[in-house]
A and B are shown apart, each in its own frame.
Chain A
Amino acid sequence: MTPTTVAALTPAGIWLVAALVCLGLEAAGTPVGWRKRSTRTHLPWVIGLAALAVLAHAVLRWGDAASAATSAQGLIVDRTGLLGSGVIALLVGAVHLAATPSLAAIDEERGEMSAGFAMVGAALSVACGTVDLLVLAAALVVATGAQSLLCAPDREGPHGIEAATKGIVGAGVLLVVLALAVVFAWVCTGSTAFAGLGRALAIGAPGAAFAAAMIVVVLALILGAVPFQQSYVDVAHGASTSSAGLLAGGMLVVGVLEAVRLLDGVVATGADQMLARSFAVIAALTLVGAPVASLDQSRIGRVVAYLAVLPGGVALAALAAGALSTGGTADAGAVRAALMAVLSGGLGCAAALLGVALPRLDPSSTWEDWSGFGRTRPVMAAFLVYALGTLAGVPGTIGFTARLEAARALFAARVDWLGLVVVASAALGAAPIVRLALFLFAKDVPSTRAKDQPAPGGLLLGTFAALVIACGLLEVWPGLLDELVQQARR
Chain B
Amino acid sequence: MALIDTWGLALVPLLLVGGALFMLVMPGVDRLALRHVGMTVSVAAALVGLRLAWLASEAPRTLALFGAELRLDALNGPMVVMACVSLPVALRAGAPRVFERTQFYVVTVLFCGGLGTAALVVAAPIVKLVIATLAAVPLFALVSLFGGPQRGSSTMKAAVLWLLVDAAAMAVAVLLAARAHVAVASASVDDLATGAAVQPPGQASLLFLALAAPGLVRLAAGPFSVWLSDFLEQAPVSAAVIACATAAPLGLELLARVALPAVPSGVLALLPVILLVGVLALGVSAMLALAERELRRLIAQLVHLAGAAAALAVMTLGSGAIAAAVGLVVASAGSAMLALCTVEAIERRYETRDCVELIGLGHQTPLLATLLAAGLFGLGGVPLVGAGTALWLLAAALGDGPAFAAAALPGSWLLALQIVVVAATALASIGVATALRRLLLPAVRHGHKHLERVTAAQTLRLLVPALIALIAGLGAPVVVLQARPIADQIARVAAARAAVQPPPAEPFDELGNDDEVER
Binding site for B on A (CB under 8 A): 375, 378, 394-396, 404, 407-408, 411-412, 416, 419-428, 430-431, 434-435, 437-439, 441-443
Q: Does B54 contact A (CB under 8 A)?
A: no
Please give me the residue from chain A that is nearest to B140 by CB atom: A434
Contact B184 A404 (CB under 8 A): yes
Contact A420 B178 (CB under 8 A): no
Contact A419 B160 (CB under 8 A): no
Contact A407 B168 (CB under 8 A): no
Q: Does B163 contact A (CB under 8 A)?
A: yes
- Name the distance in Å between B111's Cβ and chain A's nearest Cβ: 12
Contact B163 A407 (CB under 8 A): no
Residues 129-149 (chain B) with a chain A CB within 8 angstroms: 130, 133-134, 140-141, 144-145, 147
Cα separation A441 to B164 with both chains bound (whole Å): 22
Residue in A419, A422, A438 whose beta carbon sits within 8 Å of that of B152 in the complex: A438
Q: Does B172 contact A (CB under 8 A)?
A: yes
Contact B168 A424 (CB under 8 A): yes
- Name the distance in Å between B95's Cβ and chain A's nearest Cβ: 19
Q: Does B174 contact A (CB under 8 A)?
A: yes
Cα separation A426 to B133 with both chains bound (whole Å): 12
Cα separation A434 to B177 with both chains bound (whole Å): 29
Cα separation A395 to B152 with both chains bound (whole Å): 22
Contact B174 A427 (CB under 8 A): no
Chain A neighbourhood of B177, CB < 8 A: 408
Cα separation A428 to B170 with both chains bound (whole Å): 14
Contact residues of A: prevailing secondary structure: helix
- Name the distance in Å between A334's Cβ and chain B's nearest Cβ: 12
Chain A neighbourhood of B175, CB < 8 A: 407, 411, 416, 419-420
Cα separation A431 to B155 with both chains bound (whole Å): 11
Contact A441 B145 (CB under 8 A): yes
Contact A419 B130 (CB under 8 A): no
Q: Does B179 contact A (CB under 8 A)?
A: yes
Cα separation A439 to B155 with both chains bound (whole Å): 11
Binding site for A on B (CB under 8 A): 101, 104, 130, 133-134, 140-141, 144-145, 147, 151-152, 155-156, 159-160, 163-164, 166-168, 170-172, 174-175, 177-179, 184
Of the A-B pairs whose beta carbons lie under 8 Å apart in the complex, a sample of 11, sorted by A's number, is A394-B163, A411-B179, A419-B178, A421-B171, A424-B164, A427-B166, A428-B164, A435-B156, A438-B152, A439-B152, A442-B152
- Name the distance in Å between A56's Cβ and chain B's nearest Cβ: 35
Contact A408 B167 (CB under 8 A): no
Chain B neighbourhood of A442, CB < 8 A: 144-145, 147, 151-152, 155
Contact A420 B171 (CB under 8 A): yes
- Name the distance in Å between B174's Cβ and chain A's nearest Cβ: 5
Residue in A395, A420, A439 whose beta carbon sits within 8 Å of that of B133 in the complex: A395
Cα separation A426 to B171 with both chains bound (whole Å): 10
Cα separation A196 to B175 with both chains bound (whole Å): 36
Contact B178 A408 (CB under 8 A): yes
Chain A neighbourhood of B156, CB < 8 A: 434-435, 438
Contact A407 B151 (CB under 8 A): no
Cα separation A437 to B152 with both chains bound (whole Å): 10
Contact A438 B144 (CB under 8 A): yes
Chain B neighbourhood of A443, CB < 8 A: 152
Residue in B147, B159, B179 whose beta carbon sits within 8 Å of that of A434 in the complex: B159
- Given A411-B178, A434-B156, A438-B152, residue A395 in contact with residue B170 (CB < 8 A): yes
Please give me the residue from chain A that is nearest to B175 by CB atom: A411
- Given A424-B168, A434-B163, residue A441 in contact with residue B174 (CB < 8 A): no
Cα separation A441 to B166 with both chains bound (whole Å): 23
Contact B134 A412 (CB under 8 A): no
Contact B167 A423 (CB under 8 A): yes
Chain A neighbourhood of B147, CB < 8 A: 442
Contact A423 B151 (CB under 8 A): no
- Name the distance in Å between B500's Cβ and chain A's nearest Cβ: 27
Cα separation A434 to B140 with both chains bound (whole Å): 9
- Name the distance in Å between B29's Cβ and chain A's nearest Cβ: 16
Residue in A412, A421, A441 whose beta carbon sits within 8 Å of that of B144 in the complex: A441
- Name the distance in Å between A469's Cβ and chain B's nearest Cβ: 15
Greatest chain A CB density within 10 A among B130, B155, B163, B168 is at B163
Cα separation A421 to B133 with both chains bound (whole Å): 18
Chain B neighbourhood of A437, CB < 8 A: 141, 144
Contact A412 B178 (CB under 8 A): yes
Chain B neighbourhood of A434, CB < 8 A: 140, 155-156, 159-160, 163
Chain A neighbourhood of B159, CB < 8 A: 434
Contact A427 B164 (CB under 8 A): yes
- Name the distance in Å between B273's Cβ and chain A's nearest Cβ: 22
Residue in A423, A439, A441 whose beta carbon sits within 8 Å of that of B171 in the complex: A423
Cα separation A416 to B163 with both chains bound (whole Å): 21
- Name the distance in Å between B407's Cβ and chain A's nearest Cβ: 29
- Name the distance in Å between B270's Cβ and chain A's nearest Cβ: 19
- Name the distance in Å between B18's Cβ and chain A's nearest Cβ: 16
Please give me the residue from chain A that is nearest to B199 by CB atom: A416
- Given A419-B175, A438-B156, A441-B141, residue A378 in contact with residue B167 (CB < 8 A): no
Chain A neighbourhood of B101, CB < 8 A: 375
Chain A neighbourhood of B141, CB < 8 A: 437, 441
Please give me the residue from chain B that is nearest to A382 by CB atom: B141
Contact A430 B171 (CB under 8 A): no
Contact A404 B174 (CB under 8 A): yes
- Name the distance in Å between B142's Cβ and chain A's nearest Cβ: 10
Contact B172 A420 (CB under 8 A): yes
Cα separation A426 to B177 with both chains bound (whole Å): 18
Chain A neighbourhood of B134, CB < 8 A: 395-396
- Name the distance in Å between A474's Cβ and chain B's nearest Cβ: 16
- Name the distance in Å between A333's Cβ and chain B's nearest Cβ: 10
Contact B167 A427 (CB under 8 A): yes
- Name the distance in Å between B199's Cβ and chain A's nearest Cβ: 9
A-B pairs, 5 with minimum CB distance: A411-B178, A423-B171, A427-B167, A442-B144, A427-B163
- Name the distance in Å between B105's Cβ and chain A's nearest Cβ: 12
Contact B145 A407 (CB under 8 A): no
Additional 4 contacts, C-beta under 8 A, given A395-B134, A441-B145? A404-B174, A419-B178, A425-B167, A427-B168
- Given A424-B167, A438-B156, residue A407 in contact with residue B178 (CB < 8 A): yes
Chain B neighbourhood of A419, CB < 8 A: 171, 174-175, 178
Contact B104 A431 (CB under 8 A): no
Chain A neighbourhood of B151, CB < 8 A: 442
- Name the distance in Å between A263's Cβ and chain B's nearest Cβ: 21
Cα separation A420 to B175 with both chains bound (whole Å): 7
Chain A neighbourhood of B104, CB < 8 A: 378
Cα separation A428 to B164 with both chains bound (whole Å): 7
Cα separation A488 to B167 with both chains bound (whole Å): 30
Please give me the residue from chain B that is nearest to A427 by CB atom: B167
- Given A434-B160, A434-B163, residue A407 in contact with residue B130 (CB < 8 A): no
Contact B168 A408 (CB under 8 A): no
Chain B neighbourhood of A438, CB < 8 A: 144, 152, 155-156
Chain B neighbourhood of A430, CB < 8 A: 163, 167
Cα separation A394 to B151 with both chains bound (whole Å): 23
Greatest chain B CB density within 10 A among A394, A412, A426 is at A426
Residue in A421, A423, A431 whose beta carbon sits within 8 Å of that of B170 in the complex: A423
- Name the distance in Å between A463's Cβ and chain B's nearest Cβ: 23
Cα separation A426 to B129 with both chains bound (whole Å): 14
Contact B171 A424 (CB under 8 A): yes
Contact B160 A407 (CB under 8 A): no
Chain A neighbourhood of B140, CB < 8 A: 434
Cα separation A433 to B378 with both chains bound (whole Å): 39
Chain A neighbourhood of B144, CB < 8 A: 437-438, 441-442
- Name the distance in Å between B126's Cβ and chain A's nearest Cβ: 9
Contact A408 B174 (CB under 8 A): yes
Cα separation A396 to B144 with both chains bound (whole Å): 20
Please give me the residue from chain B that is nearest to A405 by CB atom: B184
Chain B neighbourhood of A425, CB < 8 A: 167
Residue in B130, B164, B178 whose beta carbon sits within 8 Å of that of A395 in the complex: B130
Cα separation A424 to B169 with both chains bound (whole Å): 8
Cα separation A423 to B104 with both chains bound (whole Å): 31
Cα separation A6 to B145 with both chains bound (whole Å): 58
- Name the distance in Å between B150's Cβ and chain A's nearest Cβ: 10
- Name the distance in Å between B5's Cβ and chain A's nearest Cβ: 30
